[in-house]
Chains A and B, each alone.
Chain A
Amino acid sequence: MTAPRTMYEKIWADHVVRDGGGSEPDLLYIDLHLVHEVTSPQAFESLDLTNRKVRRPDLTLATVDHGVPTEGRALGIKDPLSKKQIDTLVANCANHNIELYDISDIRQGIVHVIGPEQGITQPGMTIVCGDSHTSTHGAFGALAFGIGTSEVEHVLATQSLPQSRPQSMAVNVNGELPAGVTAKDIILGIINHIGVAGGTGYVIEYRGTAIEALSMAGRMTICNMSIEAGARAGMIAPDKTTFDYLKDRNFAPTDKAWDDAVAYWKSLPSDPGAEFDVEIDIDAAALAPYVSWGTNPAQTVPITGAVPDPGEFENALERDAAERALAYMDLEAGTPMTEIFVDRIFFGSCTNGRIEDLRVGAKLLEGKTIHPNVHAMVVPGSGLVKLQAEEEGLDIIFKNAGFEWREPGCSMCLGMNPDILMPGERCASTSNRNFEGRQGRNGRTHLVSPEMAVAAAVEGHFVDVREWK
């Protein structure tokens, strides 16, 4: 009899190439390496300089997402630096025989949208990418985490990575989520509860009835933002929802391999009685739509709340951070969140740029138009998300309401392409980070769910989507 194990322990154990014995990190095998244009050029350059080869091009998938323009693609990439970066990835992939979904490929998109969409993200895998939101893939019961460029090079060369074992944290979310409260609000609520460093050193497993009830899209939204709590990774046990999502996708196994895979996947969930280093309980029924007021993703309040008074923070560094945040955000303590007016709406990103998000947004928008003071855009997470949305007529609803309908990419989530906020502009964003300057220098980001973003687009200020018609 082996002791009960958590899912994370099982997946870790299944990937140990060499046990470090405690004094050294374990060497872990990597099942899938996702690559994009921003964090890979220096890795390929170093690989070439040391005459090393990509060990497993067949376990490596590349796309362009961070720097791609979302309009006017027929005219080429105007930014010469972005163009060079993208051309460099194209050349590196050609040289090393790596599959690339380039800018003209319908499968191109945000790296964390395309993995699941293609069905190459599967339970029980180790998945890495030079991007912190790699935690998204944990929604399938995979161990997925972001790495730096040195580690990108390491994985290219060895298909493995030395890793020290993080601790485990269970976040139990039980109860029924109220109408109008979404997966985005669950994760914003969790980050608000444990703080931006609350997950540091941990792999989080999200558990409980409210998590089990979510679609894969909702689960991805939650795991995506694990890094905003500092966690190494986030994961959710695979179940029928996971298997149904994967069935018949491009890279999903078929026939006997499918049966073998499902049998293995069913063995992955944490055993009854498995112990986590830390457990946290969240009551789903008590959650509300969240809006961020500050410059980190824990600085949020329910929509019924107000901008807090920095004087209420006991810790001096937190008080100082809140004061800095209010100055940067140009907000006054005590202002009700519903009285904050917005200039821009960004609908998209690896957090909320999937077809399910677009469907929800379009349904709420149908027959409405956005406020005349607001400039709004939708950036689908991938070419296939965009195509699917167009087949369903969602683009027409967004465009008729006054949204711009763009080409897929990371876009204004981080503003590496031309999509940025102007200084002083205030944005309701479905993305994941509200750091100073994130969406453009002196731009002001408020993180919200897709539903809250759409309601703010129509009203010109934040509203409680639970009461909004």
Chain B
Amino acid sequence: MEPISVIAGQMAPLPRANVDTDAIIPKQFLKRVERSGFGPFLFYEWSYDEEGELIEGFILNQPAYAAATVLVSGPNFGSGSSREHAPWSIEDRGFKAVIAPSFADIFYNNCINIGLLPVVLTDDEVAQLTDIANDPDNLVSIDLAAQTVRSIGFDATFEIAPFAKHRLAEGLDNIALTLEHATAIDTYEATRAAFKPSL
């Protein structure tokens, strides 16, 4: 996981509520056993018609937004399934952060775990930022250490749990962190009730 400090770049506005994981990456693309290569299938059914032709009007298909690194969307982003393929596909498409008024829990955790920065702003702030993003020449800058989001005439702060922030800022391997407490796991296991099932 790459450490994150400042994410600066273009925004892609997707002002829809409840963007679900089936929309982010439809199930026919979950059959791959590889970790990478999901980017081309991001928002597939909004990006391509039934004949497989590009839907040119869709925001991510517009050449003016080809360089976007920050997705700006509506509340309850990432609702639905636990498929990590959803944040993988967003990341693989070149995005470094997603800004929304709220996120679904599992999706949010998945983002933290893969190093895609989820940023929660208020409804009003996201609405303002969406307006700003409607001009593809306007850029945004997200400073993780300062927990700020800045754009043209826009300055906001966001909350993130200190430990999640620390992991993202340092690009830490979560499993390695847990294995530092292997003795505590051993101790816990020694006291588990005998009636608990095992295979």
Is residue B74 within 8 Å, beta carbon to beta carbon, of the partner chain?
yes
List A contacts of B30 (CB < 8 A). Answer: 38, 66, 416
With contacts defined as CB atoms under 8 Å apart, how many contacts are there between chain A and chain B in the complex?
Answer: 208
Alpha-carbon distance between A442 and B87 when the two chains are bound, in angstroms = 23
Of the stretches A21-29, A268-276, A369-377, A385-393, the one at the interface is A21-29
- B15-26 vs A, Cβ < 8 Å mask (1 yes, 0 no): 111101011001
Is residue A401 within 8 Å, beta carbon to beta carbon, of the partner chain?
no
Alpha-carbon distance between A134 and B104 when the two chains are bound, in angstroms = 15
User: With A27-B181, A81-B32 as given contacts, are A196 and B79 in contact (CB-CB < 8 Å)?
Assistant: yes
A257: contacting residue among B82, B181, B195, CB under 8 A? B195
For chain A, give the interface size range: 35 or more
- A66-99 vs B, Cβ < 8 Å mask (1 yes, 0 no): 1100000000000101101100100000000001
A146→B181 contact, CB < 8 A: no
Q: Which of A268-321 contact B (CB under 8 A)?
A: 296, 317-318, 320-321
B199→A59 contact, CB < 8 A: yes
B199→A433 contact, CB < 8 A: no
Q: Which of A189-237 contact B (CB under 8 A)?
A: 196-197, 200-201, 227, 230, 232
Of the stretches A118-126, A177-185, A329-337, A359-367, the one at the interface is A118-126
List B contacts of A321 (CB < 8 A). Answer: 16-18
Q: How far is the CB of A17 from chain B (nearest CB, A)?
A: 5
Of the stretches B58-66, B105-113, B135-143, B148-156, the one at the interface is B105-113
Is residue B57 within 8 Å, beta carbon to beta carbon, of the partner chain?
no
Which residue of chain A lies nearest to B17 when distances are taken between CB atoms in the complex? A317
For chain B, give the interface size range: 35 or more
A150→B114 contact, CB < 8 A: yes
User: With A18-B184, A24-B163, A162-B178 as given contacts, are A146 and B76 in contact (CB-CB < 8 Å)?
Assistant: no
A317→B74 contact, CB < 8 A: yes
A415→B27 contact, CB < 8 A: yes
Q: How far is the CB of B187 from chain A (nearest CB, A)?
A: 8
A27: contacting residue among B35, B76, B81, B178, CB under 8 A? B178
A122→B197 contact, CB < 8 A: yes
B185: contacting residue among A61, A81, A125, A160, CB under 8 A? A160
Given contacts A27-B185, A157-B178, A159-B185, 7 further A-B contacts (CB under 8 A): A27-B181, A42-B34, A148-B109, A158-B178, A258-B195, A414-B81, A415-B28
